[in-house]
């Protein structure tokens, strides 16, 4: 299976319920995310955003990692062992806050493949178009997904802009590919 875009999924059974919690990422983290995705060339690639999450669910991205992975033009795969390499090094209490991946074209809604491959349903899932070669104002054009009850919801631009916001803070970036 090469082209995840071939697989469409059914619409949700109920509307997304907006949440108050915010995921905060430094502007430098957004730039680093695009740079990591672009570095993969004409290949899809996956990244993870990690950091602390408070009691009401607000997260602060402090660590961005590109794990070892298999990349192709139309999908990517991270083995459990490659993911464990990163997770084992996280400071106590840090969580996976978002899983990020690129797509060849403009379409940024999850595929069935994404629904199956996502490693954590407590984290958000972000899909960047055009292999990360985009210069729109974040999060325009980026597919931000959140899991609720039984499906991954694609947030509209208004909800997305309230769910993931740019806020300064310390950041570490690592590329293990």
Interatomic CA distance for residues 79 and 118, integer angstroms: 12
**Longest C-alpha distance within the chain, in Å?**
40
Which part of the chain contacts Zn ion (CB under 5 A), choosing from 13-21, 51-59, 61-69, 104-112? 104-112
Q: Which of residues 107-126 bind Zn ion (CB under 5 A)?
A: 111, 114
Q: Which of residues 2-41 bind Zn ion (CB under 5 A)?
A: 4
* Closer residue to Zn ion in complex, CB, 8/172: 8
* Closer residue to Zn ion in complex, CB, 114/146: 114
Say if residues 70 and 76 touch (Cβ distance below 8 Å): yes
128 has which bridge partners? 102
Q: From the CB of 101, what's the least distance to Zn ion, in Å? A: 6
By three-state DSSP, how is residue 113 classified? helix
Q: From the CB of 170, what's the least distance to Zn ion, in Å? A: 29
Q: From the CB of 75, what's the least distance to Zn ion, in Å? A: 7
| Residue at shortest CB range from Zn ion | 114
Q: Where are the beta strands (DSSP E) in 41-166?
A: 46-52, 59-60, 63-66, 70-71, 76-77, 94-102, 124-128, 143-148, 151-154, 164-166
Burial class (CB in 10 A: 0-12, 13-18, 19+), 25: buried
* Closer residue to Zn ion in complex, CB, 8/122: 8
* Closer residue to Zn ion in complex, CB, 58/72: 72
Q: From the CB of 67, what's the least distance to Zn ion, in Å? A: 16
**Is the dihedral angle over the CA atoms 135, 136, 139, 140 positive or is it negative?**
negative
* Closer residue to Zn ion in complex, CB, 45/111: 111
User: Footprint of Zn ion on this chain (CB under 5 A)?
Assistant: 4, 111, 114
């Amino acid at each position: 299976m090469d082209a995840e875009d071939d697989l469409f999924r059914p619409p949700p059974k109920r509307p997304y319920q907006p949440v108050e919690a915010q995921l905060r990422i430094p502007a430098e983290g957004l730039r680093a995310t695009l740079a990591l995705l672009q570095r993969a060339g004409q290949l899809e690639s996956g990244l993870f955003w990690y950091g602390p999450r408070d009691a009401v669910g607000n997260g602060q991205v402090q660590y961005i990692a590109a794990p070892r992975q298999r990349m192709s033009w139309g999908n990517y795969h991270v083995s459990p062992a490659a993911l464990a390499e990163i997770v084992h090094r996280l400071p106590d209490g840090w969580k996976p806050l978002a899983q990020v991946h690129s797509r060849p074209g403009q379409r940024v809604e999850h595929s069935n493949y994404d629904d199956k491959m996502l490693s954590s349903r407590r984290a958000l899932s972000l899909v960047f178009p055009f292999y990360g070669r985009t210069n729109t104002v974040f999060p325009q054009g980026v597919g931000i997904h959140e899991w609720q009850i039984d499906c991954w919801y694609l947030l509209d631009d208004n909800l997305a802009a309230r769910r993931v916001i740019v806020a300064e803070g310390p950041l570490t970036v690592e590329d293990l590919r």
